Structure 1
Amino acid sequence: MTADLLSLTQWLSPAFPLGSFAYSHGLETTVVQGDVRTASELERWIKDVLQHGAGRVDAILLCQSLKGAEVADLARALAASKERLEESEAQGRAFVETVNAITGAEFAAAPLPVAVGIAARSLSLGPVEVASLYLHAFASNLVSVGVRFIPLGQTEGQQVLSALHATITDIATAASTAALDDIASAAFGADMAAMQHETQDVRIFKT
């Protein structure tokens, strides 16, 4: 355990004021439509998003940003819907404001994975570590959405998150050596749910 790892853990913890609890990444629509009703279905949905959708894309953007690439505009262009863009921008803004306040840095606002990558340049941590903790925080938030909205028990939610650990590690490892040309997304159901959420009559979550 190092001070830098503790700092990253703090930045990506549920207590860090990003407002992550207010975002479902389209999962709310999927639950309303009856496509995710159980712990196993939640695990499958999050795993698909991690492997084939925003999880993998964000991990590559984060790793590229950590290495010094300027990818904020690319991250914005890759947002699959208006709400997805707002989700990434709002959380990125909140992340930067809080990191700047506690460290004295002057990081500029950027979409969340890019903002985390830029801030993590100041830490003595490798891309696999940073991407793994980022993806874990992303998956943990979606599990929390499922626990609250399906609803599921807390233990079931933790079982889902634990089952995703190997997937998270694999994606982070691959993203650490991936190039920008390796970015691709095929989580069409999740993307469509995010788009449909924009006009959903009754909504609890922002996305």
Structure 2
Amino acid sequence: MTQLRQLISLLHLASPALPIGGFSYSQGLEAAIDCGLVHDATTAERWIQDNLLHVQAQCEAPLWLLLHRHWRSGELAEVRAWNDWFHATRETAELRLETEQMGWSLAKLVAQMEWGDAALREGLASLSPVCLTTAFTAACVALDVEARDGLAAYCFNWAENQVAAAIKAVPLGQVAGQHMLRRLHGAVLLVVDEAGRRAEATPPQLSTFSPMLGLLSARHETQYSRLFRS
């Protein structure tokens, strides 16, 4: 029964219906489409998979595991340090806005839903700005979701938002999007495994090297026609 309760909590957190605004961001995908790097289902899938395996797996995913560990241990100073570090690594105004806005929305939801104990909620409320990764890990700890399960849901939710953005902006059909999402399952599992290895290293092996993503995100800020906020 406990595992089923955790699964339901995880489905709640990873749901596209969670009111934190993920649908309004593309994280550089729209700029890649505008530049012609992404123009069909094959190139869209390659873009999303490369971001999972070479961006998420090297930084945000292992950081997710570190934050989950520190929330669970009640180490707010460590949470704050990693939250501020991650915020500083966001290379463009849009990427900073994205993690700030979604993190603030989820932190507010945690407070309103009274998830977790008072110490966790107070600690989360004390962070400003609060990044999405930090708020999501806090919610997982509050709902007693295990680290690897929570990270898999976080990465799948990210991939799902990317596929939804591709469907709208390339554009692609709904069935093509579902085929793409199904094929990305394996990439999500690889990210979780790689993140575990990097998070357990001493010191943690985190890399933010993703110059193409940074350049495209910067270009998106002045792109003439846009559907998304990043």
Residue of structure 1 equivalent to 2:5: 3
Residue of structure 1 equivalent to 2:113: 102
- Could you tell me how far apart the structure 2 residues matched to 1:47 and 1:181 are? 23
Residue of structure 2 equivalent to 1:145: 165
Instruction: Give yes or no for contact 1:75–1:114 (8 Å, CA) kept in 2.
Output: no
Q: Which runs of 5+ in 1 are unaligned?
A: none
- Could you tell me how far apart the structure 2 residues matched to 1:173 and 1:164 are? 15
Q: Which runs of 5+ in 2 are unaligned?
A: 71-77
Cα distance, 1:60 vs structure 2 = 1.3
- Could you tell me how far apart the structure 1 residues matched to 2:27 and 2:4 are? 32
Residue of structure 2 equivalent to 1:29: 31
- Could you tell me how far apart the structure 2 residues matched to 1:185 and 1:76 are? 12
Residue of structure 2 equivalent to 1:159: 179
Instruction: Give yes or no for contact 1:89–1:112 (8 Å, CA) kept in 2.
Output: yes
In structure 2, the residue corresponding to 1:90 is in which secondary structure? helix
The residue type paired with residue 204 of structure 1 is L
Q: Kindly, what percent of the aligned residue pairs are identical?
A: 29
- Could you tell me how far apart the structure 2 residues matched to 1:174 and 1:63 are? 11
Cα distance, 1:55 vs structure 2 = 5.3
Greater Cα radius of gyration, structure 1 or 2: 2
- Could you tell me how far apart the structure 2 residues matched to 1:18 and 1:176 are? 27
TM-score by length of 2: 0.84
- Could you tell me how far apart the structure 1 residues matched to 2:189 and 2:100 are? 25
Range that drifts further, 16-25 or 166-175:
166-175
In structure 1, the residue corresponding to 2:213 is in which secondary structure? helix
Q: 1:100 to 1:56 in 2, by over 3 A?
A: farther
Higher helix fraction (1 or 2)? 2
Among candidates 146, 149, 152, match of residue 126 of structure 1: 146
Cα distance, 1:118 vs structure 2 = 1.9
Q: Please provide the CA RMSD for this pair.
A: 1.7
Q: 1:28 to 1:91 in 2, by over 3 A?
A: same
In structure 1, the residue corresponding to 2:26 is in which secondary structure? coil
Aligned residues: 207
Instruction: Give yes or no for contact 2:115–2:139 (8 Å, CA) kept in 1.
Output: no
Counterparts of residues 61-100 of structure 1 (less than 5 Å):
61-68=63-70, 69-70=78-79, 71-100=82-111
The residue type paired with residue 22 of structure 1 is S
